[in-house]
């Protein structure tokens, strides 16, 4: 039996050395996708490494795997990893459609190019299609992306100009990534990838301080010695031009000459080359179509790198292949004995048998769990099978165990027999397939972020001009160039052309009634906004009165989650989205506080609100409290009843339904059990609001779509709100303006993405 008393760092370094992953620039065959990430991390010495992969999905997977292994081998923080291992995604848009790349794509590309230009990138994972567009030269990137250091000689207007040149948008106040604001001797800006904006304060022409701050309270949270300006663009104007022509004199390969020892790896060479060829063909077709439409467009050779140049550059790269074939090529590809691990699909007993077999073969077995809670839960489950699991700390020695468990994000596991190690990721063991998290949605999700959000004929709302119909895109000459505008049609056939750079001024119409077009320049939209402001003030006043009365009455502070709560969470067969996880954390914090909860949970149909509510209900029941779930229709109440009875089937929780589907005798029996405390959860329509419905100890009221209840029912709900914790669910989209207006008045959680 091998000695598993190792730190994670020692374990990974030893395995990488035995597998021969410490030789920079080696071509390797036989590797699974995650093992490629291990190989790259093992060879990450001095200089930059670039890994070219076939697709943007491969970029996400490879970036996550390299970050896990490099972080474990070098004990790097997540902050350092985020700046050491960088994705370089493709634009994902046709250069001849006039579409700008997504904000997250632009910022990721800008950050990677800047890091390569100054030689600070350890690893850059590039999609093959990302290499095709021509770029401004590294010197121009370095000029636009100069970092800030406290004490530097710089004036606020000059910093504002630098931020604008880097692609930031002026906005006061600064609330979202990519915004900046200059106010006297203070400059606020929100770098892409950061959790909070940064405030630069000046004393004359000297930068006196840099601090992160909370945009909702404006309070400083952390002092900084320096800050980087993450570029949001990769093309800049010619320095000796008239400011209209962009400098496209460089390409991706030019960025690797800035640092010494840069190495390039090509993963799945044939597939990556096919992707490049497809991009070049698509551009040629797009240019021909643009000419046929009579549009003025630059030819592909001015926008994209020459195919032969790119092919020649890829030919010099080391190879990383999953299927290894010795075809007698000039470049020697070393075969690595690597096997993908078996996927157990929740068969925990079978997995423990594989752990035992692996140990008998003399291998060290490692599991990478997504969170510390799931890691501890796995160790508890292993004990039931007489298999000892142990958390392995990156800094401290861990005792001998059959399975070592650590936390991180690994997409899949693998076995390296020659290295004596077998690594499992969560998806290898459990049913649900836990994927690499996609790019996080901006909180302004309801605002138009991409032309693909709109179809011709869709109603939209312009912040200043009201409801219009989206007609399409239109090319309009401005100066010497063609610019893309969105054409909107208002009542009376009035037209408004909105530059694509002002997408944030548009919001998709989400009203429950058919959209009525406003008249451009008319008074109807102004009147509508005035009425809404008054309604919001009235609502805020009512909420403040309600909360004042609720805070005057001590609430029940629920206990912290324990073993049963983890059991209930683990029984969920799908992966929680980031929005669900945040909402669950918000509700848990509210319920464990001594003041009553009143939280609004927003999310579209199918976004997982019910699962969040069921976890709140479970928490209440485990504390000996009763739960009422109120639905606006009999059908919806029955759906909730069926969902909860299935979800709670493995737990000692009694659930019942009160609706017109039940006879009077059944209802009387259910209400009797509710009053006596024998019933834990009751589900129903407005019948639950009747005076004969009595809870023995109501701890949580869940209200689904409160706006669909009548006035009298809402008054009754308002009375019940004063008795305990309340969670209100709605599928009605909450516009960003309303969301921001309710900050500090109404506790709100928003689920913005559907489960995968």
With 0-12 CB in 10 A as exposed, 13-18 as middle and 19+ as buried, what is 183?
exposed
Residue 49: phi and psi, rounded to 5, are -120, 135
Specify the pLDDT at position 234: 86
User: Quick one: pLDDT at residue 740?
Assistant: 41
Q: What is the pLDDT, as a whole number, of residue 85?
A: 93
Spatial separation of the C-alpha atoms in residues 336 and 22, rounded to whole Å: 13
- What pLDDT digit, counting tens, does each position of 633-645 carry? 888 898 999 999 9
Which of 382-391, 513-522, 584-593 shows the lowest per-residue confidence on average (mean pLDDT)?
A: 513-522
Distance CA 481, CA 478 (A): 6
Report the pLDDT value the prediction gives residue 689, as an integer from 0 to 100. 84
The β-bridge relationship of strands 466-478 and 459-462 is: antiparallel
If one compares 61 and 544, the residue with the highest pLDDT of the two is: 61
The backbone region for 184, taken as left when phi is positive above 0, alpha when psi lies in -120 to 50, beta otherwise, is left
* Look-up of token digits 């020697």: 332
pLDDT score for 368: 93
Domains of the chain (ranges; CATH) run 25-140+237-335 (3.40.50.11180), 147-227 (3.30.2060.10), 339-429 (3.40.50.11140), 451-522 (2.40.10.170), 534-751 (3.40.50.300)
Looking at residue 157, what is its pLDDT?
93
Query: Which pLDDT value is given to residue 591?
Result: 92
Q: What is the pLDDT of residue 328?
A: 46
Nearest to 170 by CA among 512, 513, 501: 501
Q: Give me the chain's average pLDDT, please.
A: 82
What's the pLDDT at 450?
Answer: 44
Tell me how far the alpha carbon of residue 743 is from its chain's centroid: 22
Q: State residue 524 phi and psi, 5-degree precision.
A: -65, -40
Is residue 510 very low, low, confident or very high in pLDDT (cuts 50, 70, 90)? low
Q: How far apart are CA 583 and CA 565, in angstroms?
A: 16
- How far is it, in rounded angstroms, from Cα 443 to Cα 436? 20
Query: Residue 187 has what pLDDT?
Result: 95
pLDDT digits (tens, 9 = 90+) for 617-627: 999 999 999 99
Phi and psi at residue 508, in whole multiples of 5°? -65, 135
What tokens does 97 get? 């459609």
**According to the per-residue pLDDT averaged within each range, which of 101-110, 354-363, 522-531, 739-748 is highest?**
354-363
What pLDDT is attached to residue 451? 47
Q: What digits encode the pLDDT tens for the residues 404-431? A: 999 998 999 999 999 999 999 988 887 5
Beta strand pairing call for 364-369 and 403-407:
parallel
Residue 479 falls in which region: left (phi positive, over 0), alpha (psi -120 to 50) or beta: left
**Lowest mean per-residue pLDDT among 297-306, 382-391, 712-721:** 712-721
Residue, of 188 and 476, whose pLDDT is higher: 188
Residue at token pair 């699909």: 345
Task: List, in sequence order, the alpha helices (H) in 119-177.
Answer: 138-144, 156-165
Pick from 270-279, 290-299, 501-510: least confident? 501-510
- Per-residue pLDDT band at 366 (split at 50, 70, 90): very high
User: Does the pLDDT value for residue 688 go beyond 60?
Assistant: yes
Of 203-207, 439-443, 566-570, minimum mean pLDDT range:
439-443
Residue 208 pLDDT exceeds 90:
yes
| pLDDT score of 265 more than 70 | yes
Whose tokens are 């240019």? That residue is 287
| pLDDT of 76 | 84
Backbone angles phi, psi at 126, to 5 degrees: -115, 135
The pLDDT assigned to 143 comes to 82
Contact criterion met (CB below 8 Å) for 392 and 398: yes
CB 364 within 8 A of CB 11: yes
CB distance 68 to 413 below 8 Å = no
Which tens digits make up the pLDDT trace of 57-104? Answer: 999 999 999 999 999 898 888 878 888 899 999 987 677 766 667 778
Specify the DSSP class assigned to residue 252.
G
Average pLDDT on 123-145 reads 90
pLDDT(256) > 60: yes
Q: What is the CA radius of gyration of the chain?
A: 29
The H-or-E segment that residue 599 falls in is: strand 598-603
């Amino acid at each position: 039996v091998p000695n598993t008393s190792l730190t994670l760092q020692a374990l990974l370094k030893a395995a990488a050395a035995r597998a021969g992953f410490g030789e920079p620039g080696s071509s390797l065959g036989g590797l699974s996708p995650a093992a490629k990430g291990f190989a790259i991390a093992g060879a990450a010495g001095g200089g930059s490494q670039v890994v070219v992969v076939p697709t943007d999905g491969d970029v996400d997977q490879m970036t996550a795997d390299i970050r896990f292994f490099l972080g474990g081998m070098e004990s790097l923080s997540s902050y350092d990893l985020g700046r050491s291992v960088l994705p370089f995604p493709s634009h994902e848009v046709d250069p001849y459609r006039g579409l700008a790349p997504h904000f997250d794509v632009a910022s990721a590309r800008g950050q990677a190019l800047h890091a390569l230009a100054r030689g600070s990138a350890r690893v850059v994972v590039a999609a093959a299609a990302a290499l095709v567009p021509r770029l401004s030269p590294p010197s121009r990137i370095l000029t636009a992306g100069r970092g800030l250091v406290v004490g530097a000689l710089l004036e606020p207007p000059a910093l504002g100009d630098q931020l604008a040149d880097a692609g930031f948008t002026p906005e006061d106040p600064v609330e979202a990534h990519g915004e900046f604001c200059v106010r006297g001797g203070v400059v606020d800006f929100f770098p892409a990838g950061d959790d909070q904006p940064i405030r630069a304060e000046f004393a004359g022409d000297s930068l006196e301080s840099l601090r992160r701050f909370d945009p909702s309270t404006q309070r400083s949270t952390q002092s900084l010695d320096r800050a980087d300006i993450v570029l949001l663009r990769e093309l800049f104007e010619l320095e000796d031009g008239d400011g209209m022509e962009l400098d496209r004199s460089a390409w991706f390969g030019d960025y690797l000459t800035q640092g010494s020892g840069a190495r390039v790896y090509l993963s799945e060479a044939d597939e990556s080359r096919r992707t490049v060829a497809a991009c070049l063909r698509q551009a040629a077709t797009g240019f021909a179509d643009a000419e046929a439409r009579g549009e003025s467009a630059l030819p592909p050779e001015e926008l994209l790198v020459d195919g032969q140049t790119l092919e020649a550059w890829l030919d010099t790269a080391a190879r990383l292949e999953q299927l290894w074939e010795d075809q007698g090529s000039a470049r020697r590809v070393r075969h690595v004995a690597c096997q993908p691990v078996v996927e157990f699909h929740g068969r925990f007993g079978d997995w423990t048998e594989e752990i035992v077999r692996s140990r008998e073969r003399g291998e060290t077995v490692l599991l990478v769990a997504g969170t510390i809670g799931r890691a501890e839960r796995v160790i508890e489950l292993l004990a039931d099978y007489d298999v000892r699991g142990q958390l392995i700390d990156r800094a401290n020695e861990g005792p001998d165990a059959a399975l070592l468990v650590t936390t991180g994000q690994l997409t899949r596991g693998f076995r390296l027999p020659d290295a004596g190690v077998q690594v499992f990721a969560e998806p290898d063991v459990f049913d649900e397939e836990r994927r690499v998290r996609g790019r996080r949605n901006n909180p302004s999700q309801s605002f138009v972020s991409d032309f693909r959000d709109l179809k011709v004929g869709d109603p939209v709302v312009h912040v200043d001009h009201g409801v219009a119909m989206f007609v399409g895109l239109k090319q309009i000459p401005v100066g010497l160039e063609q610019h893309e505008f969105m054409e909107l049609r208002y009542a009376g056939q009035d037209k408004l052309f909105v530059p694509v750079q002002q997408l944030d001024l548009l919001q998709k119409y989400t009203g429950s009634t058919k959209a009525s077009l406003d008249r451009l320049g008319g008074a109807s939209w102004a009147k509508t906004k005035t009425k809404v402001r008054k309604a919001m003030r009235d609502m805020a006043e009512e909420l403040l009165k309600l909360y004042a009365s609720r805070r005057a009455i001590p609430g029940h502070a629920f206990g912290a989650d324990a073993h049963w709560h983890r059991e209930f969470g683990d029984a969920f067969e799908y992966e929680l989205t980031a929005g669900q996880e945040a909402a669950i954390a918000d509700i848990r914090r509210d319920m464990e506080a001594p003041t009553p909860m009143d939280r609004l949970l927003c999310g579209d149909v199918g976004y997982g609100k019910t699962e969040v509510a069921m976890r709140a209900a479970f928490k209440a029941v485990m504390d000996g409290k009763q739960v009422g779930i109120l639905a606006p229709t009999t059908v919806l109440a029955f759906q909730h009843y069926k969902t909860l009875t299935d979800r709670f089937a493995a737990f000692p929780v009694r659930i019942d339904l009160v609706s017109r589907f039940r006879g009077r005798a059944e209802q009387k029996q259910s209400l009797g059990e509710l009053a006596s405390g024998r019933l834990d959860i009751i589900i129903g329509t407005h019948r639950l609001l009747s005076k004969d419905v009595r809870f023995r100890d109501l701890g949580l009221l869940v209200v689904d779509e409160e706006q669909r209840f009548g006035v009298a029912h809402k008054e009754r709900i308002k009375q019940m709100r004063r008795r305990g914790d309340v969670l209100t669910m709605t599928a009605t989209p909450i516009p960003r303006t309303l969301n921001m207006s309710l900050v500090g008045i109404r506790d709100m959680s928003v689920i913005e993405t559907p489960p995968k």
